[in-house]
Structure 1
Amino acid sequence: MMTSLFSVFDPSTNILNFSLNWLSTFIGIIMIPSIFWLIPSRFSIIWFNIIITLHKEFKLLIGPTKNLGATLIFTSLFALILFNNFLGLFPYIFTSSSHLAMTLALALPLWLSFMIYGWFNHTQHMFAHLVPQGTPPPLMPFMVCIETISNMIRPGTLAVRLAANMIAGHLLLTLLGNTGPIMSATSASLLVFGQIALLSLEAAVAMIQAYVFAVLTTLYASEI
């Protein structure tokens, strides 16, 4: 049962044994050219407003004096995850953000780059960050261990949070959809309304998780 249930996330589209499922990651590029029209469309105006709002918020989190232009990384990260999460709700489109191979590939390089930059350029600050201010001297060794462990698991928590949230909603939609053929007409109609409500909830989760991933990454960068 578990194999057939999770098989909805398995790569199945291939040509000459070459998996094409991961090409769904680039479907969002189709939406980009409309932004470069001479006369902006409503979609491009809405998207520009979203990007400007995110830029202001990320700039506030990072700090006004730190690395001008760094918010471009996090707004691009938000756009990539948002497109992948949202397009994965359409039928027959592979949701790449529900796999740890995708989410870890986003979280781990960013976290490693922050760590390498911080330890090479702000070594004393990184050491001081391991002991919170006001910690009693007897607890300092334990706080160093706790802070080190919490720092090491950050990319894993980012990756698992995104993948688990996307998998949970898709599994619930799949489970409810599989019970449709054995239901009566009245129950099936209620199931359709329930699926529509869940799909709306999944669309909100797709946007929220993209925002959470980008904001947490920004907060980790602001500590360096």
Structure 2
Amino acid sequence: MMNNLFSIFDPSTSILNLNLNWLSSLLVLGFIPFNYWLTPSKLSSLLSLMIMSLKKELSILLSTSHPASSSLILIALFLFILTNNVLGLAPYIFTASSHLSFTLSIAAPLWLSAILYGWLQNTLHSLAHLVPQGTPTPLMMFMVCIETTSNIIRPITLSVRLAANMVAGHLLMTLLSTALTNINFMTYIVLTPTQLALTTLESAVAIIQAYVFTILTTLYISESS
């Protein structure tokens, strides 16, 4: 029995003494064989179209100093987060992207590598960026503190944004589905379309959050150069 609402996001939940929750992150491997059919399937065609559109947009955000492989890494990041978000909507699959240990382990290395690259390659530019142009002299010291704090909390805001949005939607779906088991038939007819609409909204949120995470990461990498 579920002890509280957040127990569905507990990664220590086990079946037959086996921790299988994080195994859902490997389900993305099941989509790989679609790329090896002689005749492209609708799924592979849709995936190719999405990759080309995303690559074109990321190329605009990234500067020319970045290698072409940078956009491929970010596209792989988008597909990985998107797959985990969408698979989490299926029953009995743990949503890995709703856990901070998952999102922070992705955001922190990307942020740290961008920061280190920027400070090592463009030290003067990075120092100048701490004081925006036109800042009055008495406020320069405070602006350095504010900009430094803003840079430090970037991986936290990235990870919390993704996890919080996934948790919030899943909690609403859990509350509504729990209520459906203790109501009469007429109320059931009213709440069922609401549950379907919420599921559709969560599907859109899963795509949007993966896109937002990738775009913000791209902007941070571009800003470092």
> How far apart are the structure 1 equivalents of 2:44 and 2:105?
29
Please name the residue that 1:13 is paired with: 14
- Aligned pairs (5 A) from 1:131-170: 131-170=131-170
Indicate the SS of the match to 1:70: helix
- The answer for unaligned runs of 5 or more in structure 1 is none
One-letter amino acid of the counterpart of residue 159, structure 1: S
- The answer for unaligned runs of 5 or more in structure 2 is none
1:50-77 Cα distance to aligned partner (Å, 9 max, x none): 0011111111001234322210111000
- Aligned pairs (5 A) from 1:116-135: 116-135=116-135
Please name the residue that 1:104 is paired with: 104
Please name the residue that 1:185 is paired with: 185
Q: TM-score, normalised by structure 2?
A: 0.95
- Aligned pairs (5 A) from 1:197-216: 197-216=197-216
**Compared CA separation, residues 148 and 31, structure 1 to 2 (3 A):** same
> How far apart are the structure 1 equivalents of 2:60 and 2:125?
21
Please name the residue that 2:194 is paired with: 194
> How far apart are the structure 2 equivalents of 1:107 and 1:148?
17
- For the 8 Å contact 1:14–1:21, the answer to whether it is kept is no
Indicate the SS of the match to 1:19: coil
> How far apart are the structure 2 equivalents of 1:18 and 1:93?
15
One-letter amino acid of the counterpart of residue 70, structure 1: S
1:156-185 Cα distance to aligned partner (Å, 9 max, x none): 000000000000000001111111122110
Indicate the SS of the match to 1:82: helix
Shift of 1:33: 1.7
Shift of 1:37: 2.0
1:197-224 Cα distance to aligned partner (Å, 9 max, x none): 0000000000000000000000000011
Please name the residue that 1:79 is paired with: 79
Q: Which consecutive segments of 4 or more residues in structure 1 shift more than 4 A?
A: none
- Count matched residues: 222
Supply the RMSD in Å over aligned alpha carbons: 1.4
> How far apart are the structure 2 equivalents of 1:207 and 1:90?
15
Shift of 1:36: 2.6
Give the stretch that moved more between structures: 171-180 or 204-213: 171-180
Please name the residue that 2:47 is paired with: 47
> How far apart are the structure 2 equivalents of 1:219 and 1:19?
36
> How far apart are the structure 2 equivalents of 1:211 and 1:52?
14
Shift of 1:3: 5.1
> How far apart are the structure 1 equivalents of 2:24 and 2:63?
35
> How far apart are the structure 2 equivalents of 1:215 and 1:36?
29
> How far apart are the structure 1 equivalents of 2:129 and 2:203?
37
Q: TM-score, normalised by structure 1?
A: 0.95
